[in-house]
Amino acid sequence: MTQLESVKSEIERAGGQLFYIAAEKGEGIWKPQKFLLKHPISFPFLLDEDRAITKAYGLYHRFGKDAVNIAHPATLVVERNRKLVYVYRGDNQADRAPVEQVLQALKNIVGVDSNSRRQE
């Protein structure tokens, strides 16, 4: 969360919006509600308690060396029309998307949207 929080203003300038989704129950093992009270974030946070979103995007991680019944860490960039244009799926719980790649994927969308608007 802090990785993208630090570039939130740049994401917003490019026309993007951050959301965080955790495959966790509110009072689950990591206690996300308590964590957020101590470490507030400035963007929406969704608990995927039944893992429906995690499973829909192929990110569910039933069992692994460093994970049980959670999601692979992942970063997705989705266009307004819900088209998925960038996916980074971490191999382990510490593997995160390079911020530069996320920003470039977002800028590519903005470039396409701008060009299509100019041609109309």
- pLDDT-based confidence at 117, cuts 50/70/90? very low
The C-alpha atoms of residue 101 and residue 7 are separated, in whole angstroms, by 12
The percentage of the chain sitting over the pLDDT mark of 70, rounded to a whole number, equals 86
- Residue 34 has a pLDDT of 85
Res. 120: pLDDT tops 50: no
The C-alpha atoms of residue 69 and residue 65 are separated, in whole angstroms, by 12
Query: Is residue 105 classed exposed, middle or buried when 0-12, 13-18 and 19+ CB atoms within 10 A define those classes?
Result: buried
- pLDDT-based confidence at 61, cuts 50/70/90? confident
- State the average pLDDT over residues 47-68: 81
- Residue 21 has a pLDDT of 87
Q: Which domains does the chain have, with CATH numbers?
A: 2-114 (3.40.30.10)
- Residue 115 has a pLDDT of 43
Please say whether the dihedral angle defined by the alpha carbons of residues 14, 43, 94 and 61, taken in this order, is positive or negative.
negative
Degrees (nearest 5) of the Cα angle 88, 15, 117?
Answer: 110
- pLDDT-based confidence at 104, cuts 50/70/90? very high
Closest CA to 9 of 47, 43, 48: 43
- Residue 92 has a pLDDT of 83
Degrees (nearest 5) of the Cα angle 1, 83, 103?
Answer: 40
Residue showing tokens 């992942």: 74
- State the average pLDDT over residues 12-28: 84
Retrieve residue 21's tokens: 């989704």
